[in-house]
A and B are shown apart, each in its own frame.
Chain A
Amino acid sequence: MTYKVTDEGNISTVFLNGEIDMDVAEKAKEVILPLVEAGKEVHLNLKDVSYMDSSGISVLIESHQKALEKSTKVIVKEVSKSVLKVIMMAKLEQILNLE
């Protein structure tokens, strides 16, 4: 997994790339959670994420819940078809902010 972060005002956009599994979930959290902790609105762009398993889903849930705690939000953007299927299997499409 690789990533890129861009900032514009209070919005940080995290572009994740590759496959999100147990091996890289911690790394993904280390990128996303400090931004949320800092009160940023975080846009997670997943257009280049080709695979996500339950560990990746946990990253999305934890980021979403941390954002609620910090009165900000995480918006999940440009989800690929295969990743959307996993999100829907977990019945999270109504819970996460998907765009």
Chain B
Amino acid sequence: MNLSESKDFVVDSSNLKEVRTFSREVFEKINLPQEQKDELVLAIAEAAQNIVKHAYKDVEETTDAMQIKISLKDGELEIGFFDKGKPVVPENIQHRKLDDIKPGGLGTFFIKQIMDGAVFKKDQKGWVNHLVLTKKI
């Protein structure tokens, strides 16, 4: 089965629930164990949260949208995140060490645990950042 669906969301933490709803609706169309669907929703929500928290850090309110595109082709799931926030420096992204118990720093770790790949691409047209998460399913 192949599919490709995308949706724009205003960059705001109040829209993260809508991001999860969109993701769940798309994954309903794919034959996967519920546990794996839940993990994928978590990875998408964490990546969207990173846009709100980091790409739009210190921005009180914005009308900017982020776009999330979920595609499945030949058993490869590709999830694209486009935003117009501060440029991300991929080398600066790191999760905290797990034995350093403190609040925060786990979102990127969850994404890496769940997905096979996470790369920032330079092909964004009209966007600033383009993160692509991939997973064989």
Main secondary structure of the interface of A (DSSP, over half): helix
A25 → B minimal CB distance (Å):
9
> CB-CB contacts of A72-97 with B at 8 A, as 1s and 0s?
00000000001001100111100100
Known contacts A22-B49, A22-B52; is-contact A54 B16 (Cβ 8 Å) = no
**Interface residues on chain B, number (Cβ under 8 Å):** 26
Q: Number of contact residues on A: which range applies?
A: 20 to 34
- Which of chain B's residues have a CB closer than 8 A to the CB of A54? 46, 49, 104-107, 109-110
B113 close to A53 (CB less than 8 A): no
Question: A61 CA to B103 CA in the complex, in Å?
Answer: 6
- Which of chain A's residues have a CB closer than 8 A to the CB of B121? none
Listed by A's residue number, 18 A-B pairs whose Cβ atoms lie within 8 Å are A21-B16, A22-B49, A23-B14, A53-B42, A53-B110, A54-B46, A54-B107, A55-B49, A58-B106, A59-B103, A61-B101, A65-B103, A82-B38, A85-B35, A86-B42, A86-B110, A89-B110, A90-B109
Q: Which 7 A-B pairs have the closest CB atoms?
A: A58-B103, A54-B106, A23-B13, A54-B107, A62-B103, A22-B13, A61-B103
Interface residues of B (CB under 8 A from A): 13-14, 16-17, 20, 35, 38-39, 41-42, 45-46, 49, 52-53, 98, 101-107, 109-110, 113
